[in-house]
Amino acid sequence: MLYFSNLKIFSVLAVIIITLLFAVPNFFGKDQLETFPNFFPKQQVNLGLDLQGGSHLLLEVDTEEIIKERVENLNADVRRVLKKNNLNYSNFKVSNESLKFIVEGFNSEIQKEISELSMSNSQNILAMGDQTNLIITQEENTVQINFTEEFVKQSVSNAVAQSLEIVRRRIDELGTREPSIQRQGSSRIIIQLPGIDDPDRIKSLLGQTAKLTFQLVDTSVNFDPFNPSKAPIGSEILASDADEEFKYIVKKRIMVGGENLVDAQPGFDPQTNEPIVSFRFDRIGATKFGRVTQQNVGKPFAIVLDNKVISAPVIREAILGGSGQISGGFDSEEANDLAILLRAGALPAPLIILEERSVGPDLGADSIEAGQFAAIIGFIAVIIFMIFVYRYFGLLADIALIINLFMVLGVLSLFQATLTLPGIAGIILTIGMAVDANVLIFERVKEEIRNGSNMMNAVENGYKRALSTILDANITTLIAAIILFFMASGPVRGFSITLAIGIFTSVFTAFTFTRLLISFNAKRLKPNFVGLSKNA
């Protein structure tokens, strides 16, 4: 076991040197790295948000809201079909997932009509080849209509994908540095924002669905804004965005919606110097808007955002150019954010923030400093202890330990794994545990010597005997690290990564590098080199 062919020596050293090369960039500044030759690795360790400062948000798409909206649409469709066919229905019940009503004369013709209407209204969601998205059951005169499970699943999945895209657009609009936005599970979104420790603005941007609609104000009834009476059928009462107490009564019918916007920009009203948002419609939107304004000159229309009225100006003349502006008494940042929201589009459903973890840059820097210091002290303590116990062999193990530490750093940089505060703890723990493989070997060597082997044989047998123990012992720790990796997220996952890398590098260095060092000096080894007294 002590003989190494040249090829072996070469490959062991090559692996170590290449890994170490990948650790090198971490000791230089970004600008210094620029001056390095091209072949040289330049990737530095990826610091986790807890070390570089930043914000982690876990959001969930409110999927119930999506289903509710679907059922709401279905409700309108079904009533329309029933009315069209002059069927009288009663006991109409809308639950979370289904419609139920009693009707006479419900037949397969009508059933088909409902199915087709519902299908045509949800084209964009259905998978290719789907025959229907409804399950209609009839028992005498009681009819129940449900969505198919597949359709519900697909609706949710679509909404989440769409939300992801809109969240990405909104965050990109803010010009955040290297944000990471990922889907997690079926309805969640993880957002990582390096360098942002107060995500208030982002949270408020994401907290709005930003559904913009233009609706006419219902002027047919007498109405006290502070004490509204019940709205007539076809109209609804909405609060003002600026003042919760001030109500408007607007027609439910949407003239134009935010989906027809092509651009929105913040600006200032040239006359009043008040911050405004100017917008532009696409062709369909422009046509619709032109027609409605033409027919309703002199009447007020409401600009509604997320069911709150931003403003309700009076239409002075037909607006045919397809552009306009919103002024609602907001400051310039609010105008800016509104423009961002309108450009990015509306979320299909509200987002709920489930978890937020933000770390300021100071704490991150302090953690790195403390971690480095702890690592150095721990390192020195272990090095001294090893030399104290194993003398010359201890020194070799220490050299291996240093190599080992840089290899962990190199592997982290190579794979662009994320180093977190618990990850640093993992490296420090590795310092303590990495010598274990060597300890097992050295103890075996001592034992062999006590049993009468000569030094060379003792080292040979020591390595041979210790192998299976070392593998068994390290595999158990590795199992724990792997389980942790799959169970944890964020910082704790960083711990499992450094722990696992440390296990591999320490077993590797013990079996190749320290052995190689010992073999260089094999002829001159003496028992006291491994910490036994001379007369043992």
Partner 1 sequence: MLNISGTQINFLKVRVITFILSAILIFLSIGAFFVNGLNFGIDFKGGTLIEIETSQEIEISGLRDNLNTLELGDVQVQEFGSSKNLLIRVEQQLGGDQVQQDVVQIVKDSLGSYLSSDINFRRTEVVGPKVSGELIQSGAIAIFVAVFAMLVYIWFRFEWQFSLGAVLALVHDVILTIGVFCITQLEFNLPIIAAILTIVGYSMNDTVVVYDRVRENLRKHRSKEITDLLNLSINDTLSRTIVTSVTTLLALLSLFIFGGEVIKGFTFAMIWGVIIGTYSSIFVAAPLLRYLDVKREWNTTSAVDSTR
Cβ of residue 329: shortest distance to partner 1, in angstroms? 22
In the complex, the smallest distance separating the C-beta of residue 398 from partner 1, rounded to whole angstroms, is 11
Q: Indicate the residue among 94 and 488 with the shorter CB distance to partner 1.
A: 488
163-222 residues in contact with partner 1 (CB under 8 A) are 197-198, 200, 203, 207
Least separation, in Å, of the C-beta of 473 and partner 1? 4
Q: Is 367 in the site for partner 1 (CB under 8 A)?
A: yes
Q: Say how far apart CA 237 and CA 246 lie, in whole Å.
A: 10
At 266, list the tokens: 């913040």
Q: Which residue has the tokens 């820097």?
A: 365
308: which strand partners? 239, 305
Pair 115, 136: CB distance under 8 Å: yes
Instruction: Write down the least CB distance from residue 462 to partner 1, Å.
Output: 12
51 and 420 Cβ atoms separated by less than 8 Å: yes
Q: Which stretch binds partner 1 (CB under 8 A): 3-11, 147-155, 265-273, 468-476?
A: 468-476
Which tokens go with 208?
A: 């709005």
* 199 vs 410, beta carbon nearer partner 1: 199
What minimum distance in Å lies between the beta carbon of 154 and partner 1?
24
Kindly indicate which of the ranges 134-142, 170-178, 305-313, 488-496 contains the residues binding partner 1, using the contact rule CB under 8 A.
Answer: 488-496
Closer to partner 1 by Cβ: residue 14 or 479: 479
With tokens 């530095």, the residue in question is 44
- Of the two residues 13 and 381, which places its CB atom closer to partner 1 in the complex? 381
Q: Which amino acid is at 431?
A: I
Site string for partner 1, 309-348 (x = CB under 8 A): ----------------------------------------
Of the listed pieces 92-100, 215-223, 309-317, 373-381, which binds partner 1 according to CB under 8 A?
A: 373-381
Nearer to partner 1, 205 or 312 (CB): 205
* Least distance (Å) between residue 74 CB and partner 1: 27
Length of the chain: 536
Choose one: 95-103, 119-127, 136-144, 352-360; the region binding partner 1 (CB under 8 A): 352-360
> Measured from the CB of residue 511, what is the shortest distance to partner 1 in angstroms?
17
DSSP label at residue 310: E
Binding partner 1 (rule: CB under 8 A), the pick from 21, 94, 262, 375 is: 375
The answer to whether 190 touches 56, Cβ cutoff 8 Å, is yes
| Closer by beta carbon to partner 1, 119 or else 375 | 375
Q: Could you say which of 212, 359, 497, 518 contacts partner 1 (CB under 8 A)?
A: 359
Beta strand 275-281 with 261-268 is antiparallel
Ramachandran region, residue 500 (left: φ > 0; alpha: ψ -120 to 50; beta: rest):
alpha
**What is the footprint of partner 1 within residues 489-508 (CB under 8 A)?**
491-492, 495-496, 499
Spatial distance between the Cα atoms of 122 and 343, rounded to a whole number of angstroms: 24
Q: Candidates 112, 355, 415, 416: give the one binding partner 1 (CB under 8 A).
A: 355
Pattern 419-458, partner 1, x by CB under 8 A: --xx-xx--xx-xxx-xx--xx--x--xx--x--------
Q: What residue spans of 488-514 are helical by DSSP H?
A: 491-508
* Ranges of H-type helices in 174-269: 200-206
Q: Is 389 in the site for partner 1 (CB under 8 A)?
A: yes
Q: Is 259 in the site for partner 1 (CB under 8 A)?
A: no
Q: Are 308 and 123 in contact (CB under 8 A)?
A: no
CB 525 within 8 A of CB 456: yes
Using CB under 8 A as the binding rule, whether residue 14 contacts partner 1 is answered as no
Q: Does 532 bind partner 1 (CB under 8 A)?
A: yes
Q: Which residues contact 276 (CB under 8 A, 6 or more apart)?
A: 266, 267, 268, 269, 325, 326, 327, 335
Q: Is 387 among the residues that bind partner 1 (CB under 8 A)?
A: no
36 binds partner 1 (CB under 8 A): no
For 37, 100, 116, 133, 158, the CA distances from 120, given in Å and listed in that order, are 61, 21, 6, 10, 17
Tokens of 360: 């300021």
- The residue count for binding partner 1 (CB under 8 A) is 78
State which of residues 483, 520, 521, 526 lies at the interface with partner 1 (CB under 8 A): 483
Residue 37-66 contact track with partner 1, rule CB under 8 A, x = bound: -------------x-------x-x------
Q: Which amino acid is it at 90?
A: S
Alpha-carbon distance of 145 to 98, in angstroms, equals 6
Q: Which stretch binds partner 1 (CB under 8 A): 71-79, 215-223, 300-308, 354-362?
A: 354-362
CA dist., res. 166 & res. 341, Å (int): 9
- For every residue of 116-174, DSSP letters joined together read HHHHHTTTTTSPTT---SEEEEEETTEEEEEE-HHHHHHHHHHHHHHHHHHHHHHHHHT
